[in-house]
Structure 1
């Protein structure tokens, strides 16, 4: 974790230097609301095949740094954790108009039992439509053990206003009962007025080790920003 903090400090310095070359930032609030037929994260069900309502609110300290909250209802078998609240912060460093790096940290709290409380840290590199992802979870699926995920993503614009969203990840949970496994998501979406609607399919290569939580799922979602 100390290496993570050192890396953040270095990139904060790069971010400050880059910001000094630009105009003064405009402080503003942003957010979004999403409705999903099923909440799946990194290939694993977080709502036990039930619908989920999610929302996020951000205060932007200029174009590069922001803080905010994110929340979603959850549902897990044999658990009293039914709501996940995350306190988020991220730094965006622009290399060019289409290329950037995003470093994020989330303090994740579950209510009411709190068995899954932990934190998330990650670095996402965005090159136009292509993404390289690194995510670290301190309490993977409530096991009290960490997991690292390495991912690749590709968003393709098809049929004018449609977007084909693809992502694959390699997960390495520090749990003896679960071997490293792949997760994937592919979906097709478009903007319908102010709402982005998407249909997607997710799955993992280790559904038998995850008690059905990593099965193949079809998800419908709608998201609007403000």
Structure 2
């Protein structure tokens, strides 16, 4: 963990140097809205198979730093938590025209019980169409225990204007009775006007240990941004 913090401090220093080299920042608001047939995050169902409406809003403090909010309806067994609101902040460090790193932080708040409240700290690396991610969660699935995830993904253009996205993640929850497991996701999508339509299949290697939340799911989604 100390090495991870040291690495973040080093990247922040590089970010400050890169910021000074940029032109005058453009301050603007960006965001997106998504409608999903069900909400599944890293292979785990967050809406009990029900549709989900999600939205995010970001205020960009120039080309590298931004802060914002993300929200989604949720549904869990034996819980009154039906909405998740996240306060987000991230810093982007460009290495080249098509490669960069992002340091991301989220405070995740659930309404109304709040048993799943927690923090998410991430380091995401992008190299062209490839990405490598590391995320640390302070309260994994409401267990009040930590978990970490290492993910590897790739996006490929197929059929001229379709995008095929493939991602695999290795999850290590510090929870008694639950072993480390993989989550897998494959998706195919395309733009139709200003809306991006996607069909995805996701699942985990530990569905029996996760009380059915890590089964194989098919998700349809539509997303538009501004």
Pick the TM interval, shorter chain: over 0.9
Aligned to 2:168: 168
1:10 deviates by 2.3
1:9 deviates by 2.9
Equivalent residues in 2 for 1:19-98, closer than 5 Å: 19-98=19-98
SS in 1 for 2:141: helix
Quote the Cα distance in structure 1 between the aligned partners of 2:5 and 2:173: 22
Equivalent residues in 2 for 1:4-19, closer than 5 Å: 4-19=4-19
TM-score of the pair, normalised by structure 2: 0.98
SS in 2 for 1:95: strand
Unpaired stretches in structure 2, ≥5 consecutive residues:
none
TM-score of the pair, normalised by structure 1: 0.98
Aligned to 1:192: 192
Unpaired stretches in structure 1, ≥5 consecutive residues:
none
Aligned to 1:214: 214
SS in 1 for 2:34: strand
SS in 2 for 1:17: helix
- 1:101 paired to 2:101: yes
CA RMSD of aligned residues (A): 1.1
1:103 deviates by 0.7
